[in-house]
A = this chain, B = another copy of it.
C-alpha cells in the first residue's frame, strides 16, 4: 500500500466522522441516517468529480475498503461521541486536513485525465467540498459553501499553488505537501481570525 492510499483511507474516515457528528446534531437521526450522511459526506465530492469527468469506475465502487473506512468512521464517532464534541477544535482540524488532502488529490487526478488546469483546480475543489454540500442539501441546511468563513476559496487557492509548482516542475511530493499545507493554513487563519471574502453586493 502506498502512503497516498493510506492517506486517502484516513481522509475518507475523517470525513465520515465529521459527517456523522454533523448529522447527530439532529436528535431524530437513527443509526441508518447518521451512517448515510457520513457516507455521503465522505464520497460525495470525489464521486461528483469522477462523474463529471466520466472517470469510471468510481473509487469506492471498485474498492470496498473505502466503505469499511466510512463504517469505521461512523463507529468512531459513536464510541468517542462525548470527547469528540468537547474537542470541536480537533474535529475542525480533521475536516481541514480532509479538504486539503482531497483538493490536491482531485486536482492531480483531473490533470492526469488531460483537462485544462483551470478545470482541474475546480475539480480539486469539488472533490473536497461537494460531499459537504450534498450533506447540507439533504439536511435542508445552507450549504457549507455559502457560509461565512473562507472555505472553498482556500481549496481553489491551494489547487492553483499546486498547478504553479507543477508548472515549475517541482518534485511531486514536495508540491503536494506545500499546496496542501497552504490550504490548511488559509482555512486555519480564516477561522481563527474570522476572515471572509468581500460581499458581492457592496
Contact = CB atoms under 8 A, between A and B. Distances in A.
A34 B200 contact: yes
Interface stretch (A4-12, A101-109, A113-121, A174-182): A113-121
B197 A32 contact: yes
A26 B153 CA distance: 19
A35 to B, nearest CB: 8
A58 interface: yes
Number of copies: 3
Contact of A33 (B23, B137, B146): B146
Interface size range of chain A in the complex:
35 or more
Contacts of A78: 200
B119 A198 contact: no
Interface string A115-131: 11011001000000000
Interface string A25-38: 01111111110100
A56 interface: yes
Interface in A118-174: 118-119, 122, 133, 137-138, 140, 142-143, 145-146, 148, 152-153
14 contacts: A24-B200, A27-B199, A30-B196, A30-B198, A30-B199, A51-B52, A52-B61, A53-B61, A54-B58, A60-B119, A67-B118, A78-B200, A133-B138, A138-B145
